[in-house]
Amino acid sequence: MATVACRDINKLTPETKILCLRFLAECKAQGLNIGISETWRSEERQKEMIKSGASKITRSKHMDGLAFDFYNNQVGNLYPDDIMRKCGAIGKKLGLYWGGDFKGFYDSCHLENNNPVGTIKAVDDQYIKAVNKLVDKGVIGSPEIWKEKKFTKDNVESLIIKFAGKL
């Protein structure tokens, strides 16, 4: 009996879930309509994936909640190479490993977290550097709310207005 793909992002590790949500948000910001086709995978499902040729390994990162697959949410055009490459670049910018870079097996709709402890820290470090740069440029006068991520809609609107005035 065939198993069904799990699309529940809550089955991902906490850090991988955050990265998946950031990935989807960035795709949306870039005008891409992307969905998640698979997250966690059972051993039985992995065996089916190997049998069908959709996977080459017995121990997938999906089985540990460290990988997810995605698709272009357009009927008849689910995996166009140009969009898969854009998504791969977005994932890589977030610190994920893109399946399009696998050696010997091109899996353009796959992203995995190869650094489950520290990936979020790397992204957060980039965020802190960006906040510090905005302080240095005089765009932000009070960095605490930004560094602690306690900002409100009003703070964001104010930042956009101040930043636009600096351009």
In the chain, what are the domains?
Answer: 9-112 (3.30.1380.10), 119-166 (no CATH)
Please report the pLDDT score of residue 12 as a whole number.
92
Please report the pLDDT score of residue 167 as a whole number.
59
The reported pTM is 0.69
Please report the pLDDT score of residue 40 as a whole number.
93
Average pLDDT of the chain? 84
Both structure tokens of 80 = 């166009």
Tell me the per-residue pLDDT of 49-78, one tens digit each, with 9 for 90 and over.
Answer: 999 988 888 888 999 999 999 999 988 889
Sheet with 97-98, side-by-side order of all strands: 34-38, 67-72, 110-112, 97-98
- The alpha carbon of residue 116 and the mean position of all alpha carbons in its chain are separated, in whole angstroms, by 13
Q: Choose between 96 and 128: higher pLDDT.
A: 96
When pLDDT is averaged across residues 25-47 and rounded to a whole number, the result is 94
Please report the pLDDT score of residue 45 as a whole number.
93
Q: Choose between 133 and 28: higher pLDDT.
A: 28
Query: What Rg, from alpha-carbon coordinates, does the chain have?
Result: 19
Pick from 35-39, 93-97, 149-153, 158-162: least confident: 149-153
